[in-house]
């Protein structure tokens, strides 16, 4: 009885650790994709036009700020075509007047940036009769033809759906997902701190990476990847926990602030300017362009997001959003410049007046999201995230290799599970990209089915891993991954006109970058499959020779 | 833009070489003799840490303290990875040369 109990506890202990490590791997991989979610969005919406080239110098006047229009056609004698910010805004306002409902809650005008590359308008339709808020609608301006053309891209979860996976876990209720991800983050933080303490020779073995030494190499990889990006790992896990602070500590907030506690607390901690309610009295808006000039002159920065709350109403508010500030600039820094849309009167507010604790929280969250990061810093974020993924994966492989050497059969199920997680997840993400191109473009449920494709594909890979012979499980999973990622640019070329031939020719590196990254992934997985199979053949050969020697 | 990572790369490289384990890949004879290696290691560490402080100051000057430190942490991860890979490849080459001379 006692022995059975101990056995079942051992099983539970082992599998709790295994599931936790798999979840952390999932959170890190999908979170890493989040650093490029705007870029992935562009690839996942091939109807969007190619990226415009941004003005090289900043000028507050929208008439003088000029974008170059890309074209996938042969160049004309007239030279490159351009359009000013002023003209874009005029076209945008006209489109919003034509398309958005009169009682829309807000209108948005988004100018091209390095990351999104396109100009678009968006609006929030009013709540339906059932009280539900419908999805916002967006239309992109395509200027590659003679006449401006407004396009509505396909329904897709886009890069944001992938990014959201890392804290919403997709099929789970939000609160359950927050608790699971929060607990994983807490354990990870404990693991990072204790890992530094138990690593006795942390300084002596700094920069040490011994290749081709079996389990030793995996441990070196694990130590190296965790130590090199340690400031990033601690920041990302700790700030990740801060996101769930109110979920974890809701009873404390409710005890202090009552039933509406969380809302009141948010209002006190992060005070924001309450907009005037909709008056219901119609009024024309003043022209946006002179106010944009004033706002850009006041801030000294290029403004790319313009929003009008309650458009067409006398109380309508025009907000010019400033670029995301760098960390530690959240106290007293303006984040938007506001005007009354009906009169052009400058409104007070728009400044982040947070207290000390709230500023620390905002700074850490800004560091977590990295929205302020330019291209070099964004790539450094990616590098550190990849080191985090490597840390988890190599930790798992080292653990597995050590136990497998003691008893290979006892850990067969665990090995199959880990193969399906470590290699199956990247393959499933490739399937998400493929589903985006292969599902019918106008199918209303396609956004849901893109995500179902990811999880169904992952399930299928898991089932295959549980059925396939153990010695071939890694090789087959790696081969599938190489094939899946390799087919992403091919399927893109066959199903859209936003393939490498077009994006490279137009110098649209954001779009080309996704296809090129897919090829790099395919190549990496292919090399790993080849290298793994060569080592496996060598191991089989040496085992055979040993057996022959023994029999002789 | 590339000054900070360049200074940091040299700094991290010097700090790595101040460890006997890594210095051995350059000069095994000295690395095995603590009396000879100790002053070299001290010099390497002094230069390495000084350059590291210089790189922090440069980064803060380029991008301000908040963004500069964020950048610096990222560059540190990249340069340390490059140094670790460089040393391990150098180690592999030295080992294979030794192996070849022994088999000969």
Q: What does the DSSP assignment read for A5-73?
A: HHHHHHHHHHHHHHHHHHHHHHHHHHHHHHTTHHHHHHHH-TTSPPPPBPPSS--S-TTT-EEEPP-SS
CB contact under 8 A, A204 and B66: no
- Which among A207, A327, A384 has the least Cβ separation from residue B74? A384
CA distance A185 to A175: 15
Mean per-residue pLDDT, B59-87: 93
More confident residue, A502 or A334: A502
Q: Which of B67, B79, B82 to mutate to test the interface with A (most CBs of A within 10 A)?
A: B67
Residue A548 has a CB neighbour count (10 Å cut-off) of 9
CA distance B38 to chain A (A): 14
A107, HSE (Cβ side, Cα atoms, 13 Å): 26
Domain regions of chain B by residue span: 3-103
Mean pLDDT of chain A: 89
The beta-strand segments (E) located in A93-238 are 106-110, 120-124, 137-142, 149-151
Q: Which DSSP category does A146 fall into?
A: S
The CA-based dihedral angle spanning residues A320, A324, A328, A334, taken in that order and rounded to the nearest 10 degrees: 0
Predicted local distance difference test score (pLDDT) of residue B83: 93
pTM: 0.91
Q: Which residue of B has its CA nearest to A367?
A: B70
Nearest CA in chain A to B88: A209
pLDDT at A73 over 60: no
Select from A40, A105, A101 the least CA-distant residue to A275.
A105
- Cα-based distances in Å from B1 to A27, A115, A371, A376, B7: 32, 20, 20, 10, 11
- DSSP label at residue A282: B
Q: Helix crossing, A230-243 with A215-228: angle to 10°?
A: 70
| Mean local confidence (pLDDT), A443-463 | 95
> pLDDT confidence of A349, banded at 50, 70, 90?
confident
Q: Supply φ then ψ for residue A335, to 5 degrees.
A: -115, -10
Q: Which residues in chain B are contacts of A326 at CB distance < 8 A?
A: 63-64, 66-67, 70
| Average pLDDT score over chain B | 89
Higher pLDDT, A349 or A48: A48
Look at residue B24 in the predicted model and tell me its pLDDT: 83
* pLDDT score recorded for residue A40: 96
Residue range A114-136: mean pLDDT, rounded:
91
Q: How many residues belong to chain B?
A: 104
Q: What is the pLDDT of residue A547?
A: 61
Q: End-to-end alpha-carbon separation of chain A, Å?
A: 48
Query: What would the DSSP string read from start to end of B37-103?
Result: HHHHHHHHHHHHHHHHHHHHHHHHHHHHHHHHHHHHHHHHHHHHHHHHHHHHHHHHHHHHHHHHHHH
A347-368 burial by CB neighbour count: b if 16+ within 10 A, else e? bebbebebeeebbebbbbbbbb
Task: Report the C-alpha gap between A361 and A359 in whole angstroms.
Answer: 5
Asked if residue A216 has pLDDT above 90, the reply is no
CB A278 within 8 A of CB A341: no
Do the Cβ atoms of B66 and A326 come within 8 Å? yes
pLDDT band at A338 (very low <50, low <70, confident <90, very high): very high
DSSP B13: H
Q: Which residue out of A207, A371, A376 would a mutagenesis test of the B interface target, given it has the greatest number of B Cβ atoms within 10 Å?
A: A207
Quick one: closest CA in A to B64, which residue?
A326
- Closest C-alpha to A69, from A49, A90, A93: A49
Residues A252-268, mean pLDDT to the nearest whole number: 83
Residues sharing a CB contact under 8 Å with residue A414, sequence separation 6 or more, in sequence order: A14, A18, A400, A403
Shortest distance, CA A32 to any CA of chain B (angstroms): 15
B62 has pLDDT over 60: yes
pLDDT of residue A146: 81
A332-346, A421-435, A467-481, range with the lowest pLDDT: A332-346
B48 pLDDT band, cuts 50/70/90, is: very high
Q: Nearest by CB to A380, which of B78, B80, B87?
A: B78
Tell me, what DSSP letter sits at residue A470? G
Which two structure tokens, joined as six digits, stand for A71?
A: 């074209």
How far apart, in whole angstroms, are the C-alpha atoms of residue B28 and residue A445? 66
A22 CB neighbour count, 10 Å cutoff: 18
Grouping H, G, I as helix, E, B as strand and the rest as coil, residue A421 is helix
- Please report, rounded to a whole number, the percentage of residues in chain A having pLDDT higher than 90: 62
How close is the nearest chain A Cα to the Cα of B6, in Å? 15
Query: Of the candidates A224, A327, A380, which has its C-beta nearest B66's C-beta?
Result: A327
> Could you give the CA distance from residue B53 to residue B69 in angstroms, rounded to a whole number?
12
Inter-chain residue contact A380 with B1, CB threshold 8 Å: no
Q: Which residues contact A86 (CB under 8 A, 6 or more apart)?
A: A62, A63, A65, A289
Query: Are B77 and A383 inside 8 Å of each other by CB?
Result: yes
Supply the pLDDT for residue A541. Answer: 65
- Banded model confidence at residue A9, pLDDT cuts 50, 70, 90: confident
Q: How confident is the model at residue A178 (pLDDT cuts 50, 70, 90)?
A: very high
Residue A76 in this model has a pLDDT that exceeds 70: no
Look at B77 and A205 and tell me if their CB atoms are within 8 Å: no
Residues of A in contact with B67 (CB under 8 A): 326-327, 372, 377
Query: Any idea what the Cα angle at residue A539 is, between residues A535 and A545, rounded to 5°?
Result: 145
pLDDT at A404: 84
Q: B104 to chain A, minimum CA–CA distance in Å?
A: 23
Dist. CA A420–CA A335, nearest whole Å = 45
Partners of residue B12 in chain A, C-beta under 8 Å: 207
Give the residue on B whose Cα is nearest the Cα of A373: B67
- Alpha carbon distance A203, A122 (integer Å): 54
- Partner residue facing B19 (CB), from A204, A224, A380: A204
Give the tens place of pLDDT for each residue, A17-52.
999 999 999 999 999 999 999 999 999 999 999 999
Looking at beta carbons, which residues of chain B come within 8 Å of A373?
70
Average pLDDT on A131-158 reads 91
B99 pLDDT above the threshold of 90: no
Query: What separation, in Å, do the N-terminal and C-terminal C-alpha atoms of chain B show?
Result: 49
Q: What is the DSSP string of A72-128?
A: SSPPPTT---EEEHHHHHHHHHHHHHHHS-TT-SEEEEE---TTT---EEEEEPPP-
- Give CA separation, A101 vs A98, A136, A137, A317, B80, in Å: 8, 12, 11, 17, 55
- The residue of chain A nearest to residue B82, with distances taken between CA atoms, is A207
How far off is chain B from A228, nearest CA to CA, in Å? Answer: 5
Identify residues of B whose CB sits under 8 angstroms from chain A CBs.
1, 12, 15-16, 19, 21-22, 63-67, 70-71, 73-78, 80-81, 83-85, 87-88, 91-92
Measured distance CA(A534)–CA(A539) in Å, rounded: 9
Q: Is the Cβ pair A207, B75 closer than 8 Å?
A: no
Q: Which residues of A touch B75 (CB under 8 A)?
A: 380
Report residue A536's pLDDT band, with 50, 70 and 90 as the boundaries.
low
pLDDT of A313 over the 80 cut = yes
Does ipTM surpass 0.85 in this model?
yes
User: In terms of pLDDT, which residue wins out, A2 or A173?
Assistant: A173
With left for phi above 0 and alpha for psi between -120 and 50, is residue A18 left, alpha or beta? Answer: alpha
pLDDT over 70 at A161, yes or no = yes
Residue A495 has pLDDT above 90, yes or no: yes
**Nearest alpha-carbon partner for B25 in B33, B15, B16, B34:** B16
Contacts of A367 in chain B (CB under 8 A): 70
Which has the minimum average pLDDT: A67-71, A542-546, B91-95? A542-546
User: What per-residue confidence (pLDDT) applies to A77?
Assistant: 58
Per-residue confidence at B70, pLDDT binned at 50, 70, 90?
very high
A211 touches A217 (CB < 8 A): yes
């Amino acid at each position: 009885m006692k022995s059975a109990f101990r056995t079942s506890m051992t099983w539970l202990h082992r599998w709790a650790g295994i599931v936790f490590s798999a979840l952390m791997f999932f959170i890190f991989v999908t979170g890493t994709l989040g650093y490029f979610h705007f870029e992935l969005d562009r690839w996942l919406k091939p109807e969007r036009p190619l990226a415009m080239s941004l003005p090289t110098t900043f000028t507050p006047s929208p008439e003088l700020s000029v974008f170059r229009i890309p074209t996938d056609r042969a160049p004309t004698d007239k030279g490159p075509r351009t359009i000013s910010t002023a003209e874009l805004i005029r076209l945008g306002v006209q489109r919003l007047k034509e398309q958005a409902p009169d009682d829309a809650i807000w209108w948005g005008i988004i100018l091209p940036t390095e990351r999104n590359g396109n100009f678009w308008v968006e609006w929030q339709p009013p709540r339906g009769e059932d009280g539900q808020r419908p999805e916002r609608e967006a239309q992109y301006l395509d200027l590659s033809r003679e006449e401006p053309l407004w396009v509505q891209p396909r329904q897709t979860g886009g890069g944001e759906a992938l990014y959201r996976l890392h804290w919403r876990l997709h099929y789970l209720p939000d609160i359950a997902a927050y608790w699971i991800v929060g607990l994983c983050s807490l354990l990870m933080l404990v693991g990072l701190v204790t890992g530094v303490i138990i690593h006795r020779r942390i300084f002596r073995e700094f920069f040490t990476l011994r290749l081709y030494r079996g389990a030793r190499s995996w441990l070196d990889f694990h130590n190296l990847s965790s130590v090199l990006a340690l400031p990033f790992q601690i920041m990302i896990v700790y700030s990740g926990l801060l996101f769930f602070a109110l979920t974890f500590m809701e009873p404390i907030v409710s005890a202090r602030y009552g039933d509406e506690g969380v809302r009141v607390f948010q209002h006190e901690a992060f005070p924001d300017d309450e907009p005037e309610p909709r008056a219901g009295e119609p009024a024309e808006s003043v022209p946006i362009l002179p106010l944009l000039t004033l706002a850009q002159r006041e801030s000294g920065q290029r403004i790319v997001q313009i929003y009008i709350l309650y458009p067409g109403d006398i109380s309508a508010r025009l907000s010019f959003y400033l670029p995301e500030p760098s960390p530690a600039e959240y106290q007293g820094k303006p984040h938007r410049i506001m005007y009354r849309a009906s009169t052009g009167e400058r409104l007070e507010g728009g400044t982040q007046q947070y207290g000390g604790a709230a500023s620390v929280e905002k700074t850490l969250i800004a560091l977590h999201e990295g929205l302020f990061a330019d291209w070099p810093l964004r790539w450094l974020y990616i590098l550190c995230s990849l080191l985090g993924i490597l840390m988890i994966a190599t930790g798992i492989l080292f653990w597995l290799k050590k136990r497998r050497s003691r008893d290979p059969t006892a850990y067969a199920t665990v090995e199959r599970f880990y193969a399906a997680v470590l290699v199956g997840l990247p393959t499933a993400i490739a399937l998400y990209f493929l589903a985006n191109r292969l599902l019918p473009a106008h199918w209303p449920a396609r956004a849901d089915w893109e995500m179902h494709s990811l999880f169904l594909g992952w399930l299928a890979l898991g089932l295959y891993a549980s059925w396939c012979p153990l010695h071939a499980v890694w090789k087959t999973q790696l081969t599938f991954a190489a094939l899946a990622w390799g087919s992403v640019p091919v399927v893109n070329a066959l199903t859209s006109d936003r393939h490498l031939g077009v994006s490279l020719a137009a110098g649209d590196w954001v779009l080309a970058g996704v296809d090129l990254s897919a090829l790099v992934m395919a190549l990496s997985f292919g090399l790993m499959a080849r290298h793994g199979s060569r080592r496996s053949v060598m191991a089989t050969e040496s085992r055979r020779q040993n057996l022959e020697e023994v029999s002789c | 833009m590339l000054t900070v990572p360049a200074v940091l790369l040299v700094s991290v490289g010097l700090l790595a070489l101040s460890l006997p384990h890594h210095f051995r890949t350059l000069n095994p004879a000295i690395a095995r003799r603590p009396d000879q290696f100790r002053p070299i290691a001290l010099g390497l560490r002094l230069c390495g840490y000084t350059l590291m402080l210089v790189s922090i100051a440069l980064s803060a000057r380029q991008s301000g303290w908040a963004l500069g430190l964020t950048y610096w942490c990222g560059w540190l991860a990249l340069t340390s990875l490059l140094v670790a890979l460089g040393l391990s490849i150098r180690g592999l080459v030295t080992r294979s040369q030794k192996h070849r001379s022994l088999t000969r």
